[in-house]
Structure 1
C-alpha cells in the first residue's frame, strides 16, 4: 500500500512538471498583433507592390495592344480630336502621332499610354466614333524578372557596403586600387539593374496602345482616265496614221497635178504662138 502511494505521488509530480514545460516551450501570446509566417520570413516593408489587375494577385504584368479604326469620309480630323479627348478622360497620354496618305486612304497613327484599369474603357470609347477593323492585345508577365532584379540589386548593395567598409580599413595602395576597381564594377552593375527595374515599373504602370485612325478616299472611275503612257501611244498612233495618209495622198494626186501642169504649159505656149 505504501508503494502504491509513492507511485501516485510520483505520477502527479511528472504531470505537474509537464504542464510547466509546455508553457515554457509554447508561451502564451502577450497580445501582440504581429503576423506569423509558416516556413518563410515575414516580408519586409520595402518589397515591391505589384499591380494585381491582371494575371492574379501579386503579379507584375505589361499590357500592350494595337487597334485599327475606320471613320466616315471627311471626318478624319474630327475623329482624331475625339481620340485625344478620350485619352485625357482616362488620364492617359499620347507619345507619338504621325500622318500618312496613300491613293486609297488617309491615316493617323497615334501611340497612346493609358492606365491598365482604363484599357477596356478606352477601347469602348473608340467604338463609339468609328468601326473597329482589327484589335490585338497581349499580356507579358514580368514578375519573375522583376523579382530577380530586386534580388540582384539587394546583393550588389550589400557587396558595395562591404567594399566601402574594407576600403576604409585598408592602407595598402595596391589593395586600395583593387577595391576601387571592384567598387566601380559593382556601381555600374547596380545602376544598370536599377534602370531595368525602373523600366519594368514604368511599362507595367501604363498600357501602350497603337491606334490607327483612317478614312477611305472617294472612289475614282479609272475607266475614264487613261494613264500617260496610253495617251502617248494614242498620240503617236494618230501621228503615224496622219503621215501615212499624207504620203498616200501625195502619191495619188502628185502625178495628176504634174500632168495638169504640163498640159497647162503646152496650152499656154500654143496660145502664145
Structure 2
C-alpha cells in the first residue's frame, strides 16, 4: 500500500513538472516575439500602416491617374480680329508684344489699297503667356472676333515617351547583336534590321519634338483691319432635316432646269439655221425616190392570148 502511495505521488509530481515546463517555454516564445516586434521600430522599420502589404496604405487599383495642371500637355491655339486706325503701326506693336513675351513671328501677310488695309500675323508665344498676350492684342483697337481653343495631348505624349523608350531598347539590343555577328549573312541581316529600328526611332523622336514644340509655344493668328476693311463673316452652322433636304432638292431641280433651258436657248438658232435645209433636202430626196420606183401600166397589146 505504501509503495502504491509513493508511486502515485511521484506520478503527480512528474505531471506537474511537465506542465510547468510547457508553460515556461510558451512564455519564453511570447516574450521573444514581443521583443522582436519592439525592436523593429527601433531599427527604423516602417509602421504596419506603411508596409506594402498593409491595407490602409494600398491605393485604389481602379482609381484613375490624376495629373496636376502643370504636368499636362496642352496645345493652345487662338485667333483674334481687331480693327485699328493704322494697320502698320498696330502690326509693329503686335510683333513687339510677341517678342517681349519670349515668342516670335511665324508669318506676316499684309495687303493695302487706297480703300482699305489689312494684315494677318501669326505669332508663336510661350504657352504660360498665351492668355496675357491675347488680352494685350485685343487692346490694340476695337476687337471684332476672338476664338480660343485648347487640346489636351497628355495621353499622346505619354504614349510617345513609352514607345520611344521601348524603341531605344530595341536599337540597343540590335547593336549588341550586330557586334556579336560571326558570319556575313548574319551581319547583313542584322544591319538591315538595325537600320529599320533606327528609322522607326527617328520618326518617333521627330513626332515628339513636334508635339513638344506645339505644347511649349502657342499659336495666335492676329488679323488687323483698317477703318474701311470689311470684317470677316462668321460661318453659319449647317442645318439638317427633312425641310432642309427638300429645300436643297428643290433648289437643285430649279438650277438644273435653268441650265437645261439655257442650253436649249443656245442651240435653238443653230437648229433653225441648219435643221430646215436638212429637213427640206430629205423630203425632196424621198419624193424623187418614190417617183422612180412607181410601176408603169402595161399596154393591151402586150397581153398574151392563151393558145387553143
Which TM-score band applies after superposition, normalised by the shorter structure?
Answer: 0.5 to 0.7
For structure 2, list consecutive stretches of 5 or more residues without a partner in the other structure.
Answer: 1-15, 60-66, 231-308
8 Å contact from structure 2 (residues 80, 221) kept in 1: yes
Which residue of 172, 180, 183 corresponds with 2:194?
183
SS in 2 for 1:217: coil
SS in 1 for 2:140: coil
SS in 1 for 2:128: helix
Q: Match of 1:62? A: 75
Matched, 1:110 2:121: yes
Within a 5 Å distance, the mapping from 1:50-199 to structure 2 comes to 56-72=69-85, 75-101=86-112, 105-199=116-210
**Alpha carbons of structure 1 residues 23 and 147: separation in structure 2 relative to 1, 3 Å:** farther
Matched, 1:13 2:28: yes
**Alpha carbons of structure 1 residues 103 and 14: separation in structure 2 relative to 1, 3 Å:** farther
Greater shift in the superposed pair: 104-113 or 191-200: 104-113
Tell me by how many angstroms 1:91 deviates. Answer: 1.6
The alignment yields a C-alpha RMSD, in angstroms, of: 3.2
Count matched residues.
200
Per-residue Cα deviation, 1:10-56 (whole angstroms, up to 9, x for no partner) = 2222223424665898894389xxxx99879xxxxxxxxxxx8xx72
User: How far apart are the structure 1 equivalents of 2:128 and 2:95?
Assistant: 18
SS in 1 for 2:226: strand
User: How far apart are the structure 1 equivalents of 2:147 and 2:136?
Assistant: 16
User: How far apart are the structure 1 equivalents of 2:184 and 2:40?
Assistant: 54
* RCO higher in structure (CA 8 A, sep ≥6): 1
User: How far apart are the structure 1 equivalents of 2:115 and 2:179?
Assistant: 72
SS in 1 for 2:69: coil
SS in 2 for 1:158: helix
User: How far apart are the structure 1 equivalents of 2:221 and 2:58?
Assistant: 45
User: How far apart are the structure 2 equivalents of 1:190 and 1:178?
Assistant: 19
Q: Match of 1:257? A: none
SS in 2 for 1:91: coil
8 Å contact from structure 1 (residues 111, 211) kept in 2: yes
**Alpha carbons of structure 1 residues 109 and 163: separation in structure 2 relative to 1, 3 Å:** same
**Alpha carbons of structure 1 residues 153 and 100: separation in structure 2 relative to 1, 3 Å:** same
**Alpha carbons of structure 1 residues 185 and 58: separation in structure 2 relative to 1, 3 Å:** same
User: How far apart are the structure 2 equivalents of 1:84 and 1:57?
Assistant: 28
Tell me by how many angstroms 1:110 deviates. Answer: 0.3
8 Å contact from structure 1 (residues 104, 216) kept in 2: no
Runs of 4+ with deviation above 6 angstroms: 23-27, 36-40
